[in-house]
């Protein structure tokens, strides 16, 4: 069935506490999606942010971000007071996240809530059911606190290498902090499940993001060193990135450790099966980031300053997805197949049956040539966007493009009299054959690059945009719903 959705990360929602959360404003956004005739809400990874506040560099791929926890829920449950929340400093500007202030204030309030918390049946069931990853994550965070949040590669050797005596001693010494981190994760999942139920009850499905790689400084690597390409000192031998291209002359050096795919194959990709299973519990649909690396991936020798000297290596290909399907059955997956795509990547996508992605901005290339990213080429089995979280907003992109590209863009879209260029772009996507259209909320709002979510391979100023509360208007919903009805992207049985 043809449908549509909106890309809007939780952190970008309005709230009184400096960052979007799972609270009332999230439910209000679900209501807005319904009024706009949407069926999907796409978000970025929910995992705890690490280096540079990126949700793609997380301390754990299984854990949830404490900053997304709704404080009003904790007040309602008697764990903290409303006055304590109102007195905390979260930053004065509602248009962006001040991560330093939000982190300090929120963690202090979560610690207060933990002191008031009494273990209940739900909590005890949660820690037992999630013990396989939760025990290691909670210990990892507790020890990390003792090392002033330094990377685990700098810890004392015994705990760095998880020696039995050191692990036992740490569990005893940091028992209270371990319980705190388990409480945080229980609170996170309880609130997320409530929000997801609300969305699903109102006909909204959640598209969640699964980054292909995990951060070096993570509980995932610390507790599974044998599954990654590391040396005897637990330092990477090769790291992830992408080669030089039109967007970057030196490529992108991400620095994530690469998987030991041969070792994972011997275990029937068990760690990955668990990871995908966890995502399938959190989301209705999973978007796999950097899908092409399952076919071929760029491996860069550790210590290189750029991605130039990497080389292509072969990934697990269809055997991997066969193992996932055998263990978990059919999972609703979107493949992010962007970047330099070989014929073998296209063949893998076709074999998987997953829909790929198309980006309108990419259709207007420097050569002004025909492109697969133009709407008249979109296959039915695809998910199409004006741009992603890694791109400029439409308004920002057009402002920075050459006049020839802007002319091609307008000639292609042919906006009607008094129709905005953004609306004309939406119309082109909605009328395409693609089964799913997803619009970034920044483009719906017509914002420039001050609202851009991320500039790849840069630090500072990323992931901070927030939508002001008064911007989520009924008029915008009506315009989007008009496109939904005109181009048959609604379920007639429910309208």
Residues with catalytic annotation?
289, 336, 390
Helices (H), 255-372: 261-266, 270-282, 317-328, 343-352
Quote the CA–CA distance of 178 and 236 in Å, as a whole number: 28
Q: Where are the beta strands (DSSP E) in 37-77?
A: 40-42
Structure-token pair, residue 78: 């008697």
Pairing, β 3-7 against β 40-42: parallel
Distances (CA, A) of 48 to 56, 81, 118: 9, 25, 24
Neighbouring C-alpha atoms within 13 Å toward the C-beta of 178: 19
Q: Could you tell me if 320 and 273 are in contact, meaning their C-beta atoms sit under 8 angstroms apart?
A: no
Tokens (6 digits) for 181: 């981190």
Whether the CB-CB separation of 453 and 465 falls below 8 Å is answered with yes
CA distance 288 to 64: 18
Do 308 and 252 contact (CB within 8 A), yes or no? no
Structure tokens at 454: 């991320």
């Amino acid at each position: 069935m043809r449908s549509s959705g909106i890309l809007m990360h939780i952190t970008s929602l309005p709230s009184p506490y400096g960052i979007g959360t799972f609270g009332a404003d999230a439910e209000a956004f679900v209501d807005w999606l319904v009024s706009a005739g949407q069926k999907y809400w796409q978000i970025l990874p929910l995992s705890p942010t690490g280096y540079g506040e990126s949700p793609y560099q997380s301390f754990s791929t299984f854990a949830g971000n404490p900053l997304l926890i709704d404080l009003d829920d904790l007040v309602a449950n008697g764990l903290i007071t409303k006055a304590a929340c109102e007195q905390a400093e979260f930053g004065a500007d509602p248009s962006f996240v001040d991560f330093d202030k939000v982190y300090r204030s929120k963690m202090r309030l979560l610690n207060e809530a933990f002191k008031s918390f009494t273990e209940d049946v739900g909590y005890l069931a949660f820690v037992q059911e999630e013990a396989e990853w939760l025990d290691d994550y909670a210990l990892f965070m507790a020890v990390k606190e003792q090392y002033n949040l330094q990377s685990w590669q700098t810890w004392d050797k015994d705990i760095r290498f998880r020696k039995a005596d050191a692990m036992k001693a740490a569990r005893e010494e940091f028992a209270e902090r371990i319980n705190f981190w388990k409480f945080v994760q229980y609170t996170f999942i309880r609130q997320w499940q409530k929000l997801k139920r609300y969305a699903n009850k109102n006909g909204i499905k959640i598209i969640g993001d699964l980054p292909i790689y995990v951060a070096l400084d993570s509980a995932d690597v610390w507790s599974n060193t044998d599954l990654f390409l590391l040396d005897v000192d637990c330092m990477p031998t090769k790291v992830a990135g992408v080669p030089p291209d039109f967007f970057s002359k030196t490529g992108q050096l991400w620095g994530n450790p690469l998987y030991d795919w041969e070792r994972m194959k011997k275990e029937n990709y068990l760690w990955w099966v668990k990871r995908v299973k966890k995502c399938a519990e959190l989301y209705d649909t999973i978007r796999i980031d950097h899908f092409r690396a399952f076919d071929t991936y760029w491996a860069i020798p550790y210590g290189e300053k750029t991605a130039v000297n990497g080389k292509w290596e072969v990934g697990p290909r269809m055997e991997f997805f066969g193992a996932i399907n055998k263990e978990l059955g059919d999972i609703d997956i979107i493949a992010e197949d962007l970047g330099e795509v070989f014929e073998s990547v296209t063949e893998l996508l076709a074999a998987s049956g997953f829909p790929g992605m198309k980006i309108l901005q990419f259709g207007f290339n420097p050569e002004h040539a025909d492109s697969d990213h133009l709407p008249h080429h979109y296959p039915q089995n695809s998910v199409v966007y004006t741009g992603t979280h890694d791109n400029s907003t439409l308004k920002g992109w057009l402002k920075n493009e050459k006049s020839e590209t802007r002319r091609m863009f307008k000639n292609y879209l042919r906006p009607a009299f008094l129709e905005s260029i953004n609306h004309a772009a939406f119309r082109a996507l909605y009328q395409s054959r693609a089964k799913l259209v997803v619009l970034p909320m920044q483009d719906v709002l017509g914002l420039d690059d001050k609202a851009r979510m991320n500039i790849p391979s840069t630090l500072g100023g990323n992931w901070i945009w927030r939508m002001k509360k008064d911007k989520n208007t009924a008029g915008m919903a009506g315009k989007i719903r008009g496109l939904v009805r005109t181009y048959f992207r609604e379920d007639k049985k429910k309208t």
